[in-house]
């Protein structure tokens, strides 16, 4: 016997959509702040993109399509164990 609560599934789908919207809106806000900071420091040409997907694949694909010469990445400061278990985007790129 299977019991499926469609109402809960519908609520979960709506919640997931809300969370996705929140992350997109937050990402756009962070990018705008970074652009403004760069311009305020005299950088003439600033472009940003918010791209969803696997970080390693998306960074490499963007770099290939846009003929990027250099990629500079920050590091989160994870422990060696976290890096071993979770991996590191910067190491993969």
Tens of each residue's pLDDT in the chain, 93 residues: 454 555 556 666 667 778 888 889 999 999 999 999 999 999 998 888 899 888 899 999 999 999 989 888 776 667 777 776 667 788 788
d(CA 76, CA 78): 6
24 closest CA partner among 50, 55, 57, 53: 50
60 closest CA partner among 84, 88, 83, 68: 68
Predicted structure pTM score: 0.64
Positive or negative, the CA dihedral 67, 27, 32, 83 is negative
CA dihedral 80, 84, 90, 93 (to 10 degrees): 150
């Amino acid at each position: 016997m299977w019991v499926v609560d469609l109402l809960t599934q519908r609520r979960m789908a709506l919640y997931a959509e809300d969370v996705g919207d929140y992350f997109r809106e937050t990402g756009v806000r962070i990018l705008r702040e970074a652009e403004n900071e760069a311009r305020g420091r005299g950088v003439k040409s600033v472009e940003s993109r918010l791209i969803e997907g696997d970080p390693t694949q998306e960074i490499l694909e963007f770099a290939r399509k846009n003929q990027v010469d250099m990629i500079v990445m920050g590091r989160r400061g994870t422990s060696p164990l976290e890096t071993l278990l979770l991996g590191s985007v910067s190491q993969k790129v």
